[in-house]
Amino acid sequence: QLQLVESGGGLVQPGGSLRLSCIASGSNLDYYAIGWFRQAPGKEREAVSCISSNDDSTYYADSAKGRFTISRDATKSTINLQMNSLKPEDTAVYSCAATQWPFTTIQAVCQFLYLEVRGQGTPVTVSS
């Protein structure tokens, strides 16, 4: 059974970078669509970025476009989220989720995975 663990969070100054990893055990992620989500204190969870299982098409929230990049690791067991030019408003707990369901659009992937987040996530704090 697939299990996911998030890592890579921490404290970073505004303008800095972090690379988050969603690490799989029990299976590789070769045929999984993956989504990264975040939840800030007192706010609802929001989708940050998703990548499809078939053609690696991607979705980015408007707040992430141009700054974040989702990618599959060559090991096929890790999905990374490279976050650059971090802002204080990026402060949140970041979590990942996965599905093998062959959704036809990346938006549908994100919408489904939004409800599938299970892990504890990795906290990101952007502060000077």
Residue 79: CB atoms within 10 A of its CB come to 27
Strands 78-83 and 68-72: antiparallel
- What is d(CA 6, CA 67) in angstroms, rounded to the nearest whole number? 20
Q: Pick the closest to residue 72 from 90, 92, 53 (CA basis).
A: 53
Please provide the DSSP assignment of 55-123 as one string. S--EEE-TTTTTTEEEEE-TTSSEEEEEE-S--GGG-EEEEEEEE----SSHHHHHHHHHTT--S--EE
Q: From first to last of the 128 residues of the chain, give the pLDDT tens digit.
A: 899 999 999 999 999 999 999 999 988 888 899 999 999 999 999 999 999 988 889 999 999 999 999 999 878 899 999 999 999 999 999 999 999 988 889 999 999 999 998 889 999 999 99
